[in-house]
Structure 1
């Protein structure tokens, strides 16, 4: 079982999320646990000799959507902490500026810090579960 650091796992999520917009992503070497990243066509630690998406030695890091850390997580939070506003929150995400409006609403309800704690805990749980499912030990 290859080991990956918690720092690399968090970093991979940032690259995976940005990858859709900035032509990049993140991959872990299944054998060594080494993190490979690409952003705006710039590779780290170096440009690979092969297409990492086609190599059985590499697994792409998940993005927030893969881990259900976007709107589904916000709705879970709404059901748990703001049950009287679930429909209002659901409607926010069906309009432009949904996340901005969600942040405004949780600030107005004075649950902003609770949201950040909820989001951090869910992100850590999802990343650790993904790593375990892919056969990595997080150190």
Structure 2
């Protein structure tokens, strides 16, 4: 499938974060298939109103949340397998209880792997968003003129 309308990666990452927040907030984000503009809405934040025709699938596509892109616990365990293989059972135990991500990050910090996690998470998120965009006929990239270095 050839790439379609350009969508700014930073805008799409922000939309993914909004959509992936606590579901109690009723968050949503859509990408215009015509302009590439990202529209967001939340009960908990002050965004511009969504376009009136946002429900038209030929004009807009809903931004998935992190779970839909396999960026939740599956991502954690991919990282653990690569960097903490011997501690996989301990991490599984952490994720059986509340506050798992905080405890996981504490473990990574103690092991000197917190920045490696952030880098891994960012790279995998970008890869997943680019693949999602390609599957949906969107060209995901940096803003024109953005300094690459």
- Tell me the TM-score normalised to structure 1 length: 0.89
Secondary structure of 2:40's aligned partner: strand
Q: Which residue of 1 aligns with 2:108?
A: 106
Deviations 1:50-81 (A, max 9, x none): 4x345432110011111111111110011000
- Tell me the TM-score normalised to structure 2 length: 0.83
Deviations 1:4-29 (A, max 9, x none): 11121112112211272312210011
Structure showing greater relative contact order (alpha-carbon pairs closer than 8 Å, 6 or more residues apart): 2
- In structure 1, the gaps of 5 or more residues are none
Deviations 1:58-112 (A, max 9, x none): 1100111111111111100110000000011011101111111111111111111
Q: Distance in 1 between matches of 2:36 and 2:110?
A: 43
- In structure 2, the gaps of 5 or more residues are 142-149
Q: How many residues align?
A: 137
| RMSD across aligned positions (CA) | 1.7
